[in-house]
């Protein structure tokens, strides 16, 4: 594939005009201003377009697209216990398969090339995302508050080991496995320590929710001798592993030191946090502390979409407004959070930037739109003005998965039909009790 005479965002996230980009064998084989005459495959004119790295959505529950709009106006606690858990109790593996495909369509059509997903029925989710050809770090959000329950007897534990075995037999790394821990407040001490040990033994990233609400943070301290969620998880060995922590709205000074020292990453889910009334994390402070911060959407049931472009916009504006500083979270920083920072958090070291030798994961935007003109500041236009409808194409590992409104790896009509049918079935069932997973 040759993209000729296009404006790109380079590895420093600065615009470079009149660039020629050659993609071969899934990687950038040439990025520069010299003329390229020999190439195989497609030719794309870059006139009026911008190429940038694709987005890394590092905290998602992708089958929750099926619960979009369910339980509106409730607190996080009521939303989970009264609406989400009963709905999820009736989900089957094939439901999650089609819910994941619905989410994948939304993701790749808004520029996402990789996600970190936490849910259940992970074997079905992996099958869906692999078929869609989107990169994914997948984990089961393990939970059990019963100290007598052996973690290895949980279905999610068994599924994690099964998926881990499958992925390690593959020739590619499109699908990777993380060790999932839903949260401190849904887990026994035994389970937390077991997840920490599993991650250490298998070399896995631990993906978990941390300090999403004041209530969660306060009650953890009441349960664990004044230890915050971060401090408690550290005492159980979680931070001896790479950690991907979602939300982190209420971190204490000691929490931030622990996360910075351990190399942990924070997924900032601004839409979900605002919608559920959880608060606004001081992510600029976290960046100053040396913590790797990423932009993420959370699930579509609490967002209510998986649009990373909207998430970037809100993250920058909400931070400026909440902390009364118009200079914080500038566009270049926000773009890095949404791209290369996410690749780093997923352990994908050769991804996230447009540079020779790196993996060819990128998006192209059509800038010939009224809301994107004039171009006094391209980065500002990308963060504050661009819409997902401006996306021309999404490319993952050198393969085009979305172009000019068409999904090239997903049967759109079949997915829409299956999701509608399955949601109708679930919503006509009686509510079930919450189970351990």
Residue 253 has pLDDT above 70, yes or no: yes
Q: d(Cα 129, Cα 82) in Å, to the nearest integer?
A: 29
Question: Which pLDDT belongs to residue 283?
Answer: 97
Q: d(Cα 181, Cα 184) in Å, to the nearest integer?
A: 8
Question: Which pLDDT belongs to residue 429?
Answer: 64
Within 8 A by CB and 6+ apart from 325, the residues are: 284
Q: What mean pLDDT is reported for the chain?
A: 95
Domain 55-345 fold: TIM Barrel (3.20.20)
What residues form DSSP beta bridges with 208?
A: 181, 245
Residue 240 has pLDDT above 80, yes or no: yes
The pLDDT of 191-201, averaged and rounded, is 98
Question: Which pLDDT belongs to residue 32?
Answer: 97
The share of the chain scoring above pLDDT 90, in percent, equals 93
The pLDDT of 213-224, averaged and rounded, is 97
Report which of 302, 284, 381, 306 is spatially closest to residue 114, judged by C-alpha positions.
306
Sorting pLDDT into bands at 50, 70 and 90, what band is 247?
very high
Question: Which pLDDT belongs to residue 38?
Answer: 87
Question: Which pLDDT belongs to residue 427?
Answer: 86
Residue 326 has pLDDT above 90, yes or no: yes
Instruction: Give the three-state DSSP class for 358.
Output: coil
Q: d(Cα 63, Cα 181) in Å, to the nearest integer?
A: 18
What's the longest Cα–Cα distance across the chain? Answer: 68
Question: Which pLDDT belongs to residue 433?
Answer: 45
Per-residue model confidence as pLDDT tens digits over 380-418: 999 999 999 999 999 999 999 999 999 999 999 999 999
Task: Give Cα separations from 398 to 32, 52, 361 (angstroms).
Answer: 18, 14, 7
Q: d(Cα 368, Cα 370) in Å, to the nearest integer?
A: 7
Per-residue model confidence as pLDDT tens digits over 17-58: 999 999 999 999 999 999 998 888 899 999 999 999 999 999
Residue 115 has pLDDT above 70, yes or no: yes
Residue 157 has pLDDT above 50, yes or no: yes
Which CATH number does the domain 2-53+358-407 belong to among 2.30.40.10, 1.10.579.10, 3.40.50.720, 2.40.10.10? 2.30.40.10
Residue 258 has pLDDT above 70, yes or no: yes
Per-residue model confidence as pLDDT tens digits over 327-380: 999 999 999 999 999 999 999 999 999 999 999 999 999 999 999 999 999 999
Residue 95 has pLDDT above 70, yes or no: yes
Residue extents of the structural domains in the chain = 2-53+358-407, 55-345
Considering Cα of 77, then 80, then 83, then 85, what sign does the dihedral take? negative
Question: Which pLDDT belongs to residue 428?
Answer: 81
Neighbours of 266 (CB within 10 A): 30
């Amino acid at each position: 594939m040759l993209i000729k005479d296009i404006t790109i965002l380079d590895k420093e996230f600065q615009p470079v005009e009149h660039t020629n980009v050659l993609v071969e064998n899934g990687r950038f084989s040439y990025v520069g201003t010299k003329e390229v005459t020999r190439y195989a495959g497609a030719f794309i004119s870059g006139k009026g377009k911008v190429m940038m790295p694709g987005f890394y959505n590092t905290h998602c529950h992708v089958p929750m697209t099926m619960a979009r709009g369910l339980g509106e106006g409730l607190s996080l606690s009521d939303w989970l216990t009264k609406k989400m858990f009963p709905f999820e109790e009736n989900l089957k593996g094939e439901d999650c398969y089609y819910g994941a495909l619905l989410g994948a369509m939304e993701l790749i059509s808004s520029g996402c090339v990789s996600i970190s997903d936490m849910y259940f029925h992970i074997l079905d989710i992996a099958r869906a995302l692999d078929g869609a050809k989107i990169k994914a770090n997948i984990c089961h959000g393990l939970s059990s508050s019963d100290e007598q329950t052996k973690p290895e007897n949980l279905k999610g534990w068994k599924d994690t080991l099964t998926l881990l075995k499958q992925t390690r037999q593959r020739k590619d790394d499109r699908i990777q496995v993380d060790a999932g821990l839903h949260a401190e407040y849904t887990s026994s001490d035994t389970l937390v320590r077991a997840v920490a040990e599993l991650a250490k033994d298998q070399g896995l990233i631990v993906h978990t929710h941390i300090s999403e609400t004041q209530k969660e943070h306060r009650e953890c301290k009441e349960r664990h001798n004044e230890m915050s969620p971060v401090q408690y998880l550290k005492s159980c060995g979680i931070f001896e592993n790479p950690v991907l922590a979602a939300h982190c709205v209420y971190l204490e000074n000691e929490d931030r030191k622990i996360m910075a020292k351990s190399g942990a990453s924070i997924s900032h889910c601004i839409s979900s946090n605002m919608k559920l009334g959880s608060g606004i994390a001081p992510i600029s402070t976290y960046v100053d502390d040396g913590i790797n911060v990423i932009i993420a959407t959370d699930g579509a049931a609490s967002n209510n979409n998986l649009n990373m472009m909207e998430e970037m916009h809100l993250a920058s504006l909400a931070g400026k407004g909440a902390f009364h500083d118009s200079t914080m979270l500038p566009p270049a920083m926000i773009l890095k959070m949404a791209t290369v920072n996410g690749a780093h958090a997923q352990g994908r070291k050769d991804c996230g930037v447009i540079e020779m030798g790196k993996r060819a994961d990128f998006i192209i935007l059509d800038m010939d739109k009224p809301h994107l003109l004039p171009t006094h500041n391209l980065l500002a236009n990308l963060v504050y003005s661009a819409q997902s409808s401006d996306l021309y194409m999404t490319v993952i590992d050198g393969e085009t998965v979305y172009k000019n409104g068409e999904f090239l790896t997903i049967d759109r009509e079949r997915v829409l039909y299956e999701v509608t049918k399955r949601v109708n079935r679930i919503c006509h069932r009686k509510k079930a009790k919450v189970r351990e997973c």
